[in-house]
Amino acid sequence: MTASTRAAVEAYLDALNAGDGDRIASRVTEDFENEHTSTLGHGLHGRAAYRDRLPSFLEQFSDLHYDVEDLIVDGDRAAVAYRMTCRWQTDGGDRPVSIRGMFRFRVADGLIAHRVDYWDSADFQRQVATSA
């Protein structure tokens, strides 16, 4: 199970880094649970709802990339420490963002069934704030 869990997580992260909404959605289960612990994050349930949100997410977070700092796998569960970089799109242009965070995954049948994302929304707000 450990090898297939690792492969499922790596395929999901590769899809995120490719910025392909269809490919990302294909890496999660029909009843996918997307949970955010950050104040600014928004959870949702189901592959269809996730797929519907991806275009605006990928547009707002252009050049999105997750660099894996550590990947720990235990059975059908995995934890990934990451550094996420992107360019946050605003009406006045864009701003570079670099945030460290952690994903927790549960894998079922080779797909991501549950994802919990931990990141610091105060750090994000500081980085995207416009100067006065």
pTM of the prediction? 0.91
If you search the block for the tokens 């990928």, which residue do you land on? Answer: 58
Can you give the pLDDT at residue 129?
84
Can you give the pLDDT at residue 94?
85
Domain range holding 112?
A: 2-128
Q: What is the pLDDT of residues 69-127, one digit of tens each?
A: 999 999 999 999 999 999 998 777 788 999 999 999 999 999 999 999 999 888 998 99
β-pair partners for 71: 80
The CATH number for 60's domain is 3.10.450.50
Closest CA to 123 of 48, 39, 18: 39
Q: Is residue 90 packed enough to be buried (19+ CB in 10 Å), middle (13-18) or exposed (0-12)?
A: exposed
Question: Into how many domains does the chain fold?
Answer: 1
Q: What is the pLDDT of residues 16-70, one digit of tens each?
A: 999 999 999 999 999 999 998 876 777 899 999 999 999 999 998 999 999 999 9
